[in-house]
Amino acid sequence: MTRYAAPRMRIALLALFCAAAAARADNDASAPGAPFITTVDLPRATAMGGANSAVATGNDALLVNPAGIAAARRYHFEIDGVYDSGFPAQGVMLSVIDSATTSVGSGLLFSRWGSGQPGGRAEGWLLGFSYASAVGQNLFFGGQTKFTHFHSPPDGDLTARWAQDVGILSRRGGFSWAAVLRNLSLEKIPLFPPTATAGLAWGSDTDWHIAFDYKADLSDLHDVKHRAALGAELLLEQSFALRGGASWDPAASLWWISAGLGILTEKGGLQLVWRRRVSGGYDQFFEGGLTIYLE
């Protein structure tokens, strides 16, 4: 009897998963709030609710503000994964930044992503190269040139486009601010709308941060959609980072909350993140990341 219990349990779990997927067949990656590469950041930023543009100085800067890779001396490799069983969505991000060996910071990001049910699924990959440098005292400027290669719903058409991100970061004492433009392109890119972000933050990388981000979707200038995020993090004994945040999309009437834990060592770090939608329909996902310090 025990010999067949495990296979039967796996079959039962698989049947439940398939039933849940069929019940959510209308989950389209283009729907508001869908977990996709434009709404999911690397673990630190996700854990802070997306309020990270004035805080990011590590690999997370590659997705929120490329200017941040020149604001601190780093040489890190990171691998991150996202899993949402309910939507469903899966993604993996590989990134490396180097601002420790030269005065110009650089970074490379590769992301492979899939989101939505088969009838309206978006999937593909993105490759981005980032660069940043100090342009004044405590002022940094950066950009990311990226190539997107995605099949977009509802027809699954292949879209291959170049796009550009630019960002500014200023850090003075315990206060910092940021301004970022993302997904600038000569042609419209489905699921990658041009956005503008403004961010404020207080605190330091060795103690705590409180951050606020405001993001505007510029794909339709006659109907600009807004999103706000508030996040915080606390570093304990230089070994643990506790993070939390919330974000609000008034146009779609959506709220999210998030929480994360970072475990830091001399050789690297491990990050675990949970995010849940608390209005506009239930959804949650988990994200994890492993960072290796190369310097």
pLDDT of 112:
97
Rounded Cα gap, residues 225 and 237, in angstroms: 40
* CA distance readout (Å), 270 to 78, 108, 143, 214, 292: 10, 20, 27, 28, 9
Mean pLDDT of 149-159: 86
H/E stretch holding 56: none
Residue 3 has pLDDT above 80, yes or no: no
CATH of domain 2-293: 2.40.160.60
H/E stretch holding 185: none
Q: Which of 11-15, 42-46, 166-170 has the lowest mean pLDDT?
A: 11-15
pLDDT of 26:
53
Rounded Cα gap, residues 222 and 205, in angstroms: 39
pLDDT of 24:
45
Residue 166 has pLDDT above 50, yes or no: yes
Distance between terminal CA atoms of the chain? 54
Percent of the chain surpassing pLDDT 90: 70
